[in-house]
Amino acid sequence: MNRPLPVPGKRAVVLLSGGLDSATTLAIARASGFACYCLSVDYGQRHRVELRAAAAVAGALGACEHRVLRLRLEDFGGSALTDASIAVPVAGLQPGIPVTYVPARNTVMLSLALAWAEVLGSRDIFIGVNAVDYSGYPDCRPEYIAAFESMANLATKAAVEGATLRMHAPLLNFGKAEIIARGNELGVDYGLTVSCYQADQDGRACGVCDSCRLRRAGFAAAGVDDPTAYFVS
């Protein structure tokens, strides 16, 4: 695929988990002319294989750099993704905020992205949150993104000196099928991505957690073959 060349000096920090949404977000940032600096966080998630996927996606989509920061959010626990004693729900999407919500995760990650953006001289941060086909996490809502942008423009040396920071959440109002369709247009290889909350070491998905259900339904609705390898049919 012929990708547009980045505009000189137009840098963006892209939060990259290794999943479907963040891969599409990286492709959108790239197509918008940004030189992309990808940040992944190893926060003790049980599906740590997604970090290997993030590296593959960053390479495939031409990121200028990909860094992985190590945190220990599992020291706090409080989520099925960071505490092995809490089971990942597999009965389908339910009302309310599920136990796969990781307390303050997006706030922590965006703060790290903000710090790197200042160092890079970047005014733009991309995050692949979605408030349509999602698990109900409070830090995926448009009002949260707007609030973080406001905070960032109060809290940083760059902003105080006149460099207005912009938060980009290009998938915010997209359903999964729309996300997949857009990614296909931009040449995203979804076979490289891992979305499952309990993927095995080979990256195979369970097929029944909330994330797998949303992903499967998205491919079906988009009329696109699902390249996901499942260990449960």
Enumerate domains of the chain plus CATH numbers. 11-222 (3.40.50.620)
Higher pLDDT, 11 or 1: 11
Separation between Cα atoms, residue 212 and residue 88, nearest integer Å: 12
Position 6 pLDDT exceeds 70? no
Output the average pLDDT for the chain: 93
pTM reported for the whole predicted model: 0.93
Residues annotated in the binding site, as ranges? 16-26, 196, 206, 209, 212
Q: How far is residue 109 CA from its own chain's centroid?
A: 10
Mean pLDDT of 62-84: 94
Task: Yes or no: say if 57 and 190 are a contact pair by the CB < 8 Å rule.
Answer: no
CA–CA separation, 63 vs 26, rounded Å?
Answer: 8
Mean pLDDT of 49-75: 96
Is the Cβ–Cβ distance between 192 and 229 less than 8 Å?
A: no
**Residue pLDDT, tens place only, 13-59:** 999 999 999 999 999 999 999 999 999 999 999 988 999 999 999 99
Average pLDDT for residues 201-217, to the nearest whole number? 94
Using one digit for the tens of pLDDT, what is the confidence trace for 119-162?
999 999 999 999 887 768 899 999 999 999 999 999 999 999 99
Annotated binding site for ATP: 16-26
Q: Which residues are annotated as a binding site for Zn(2+)?
A: 196, 206, 209, 212
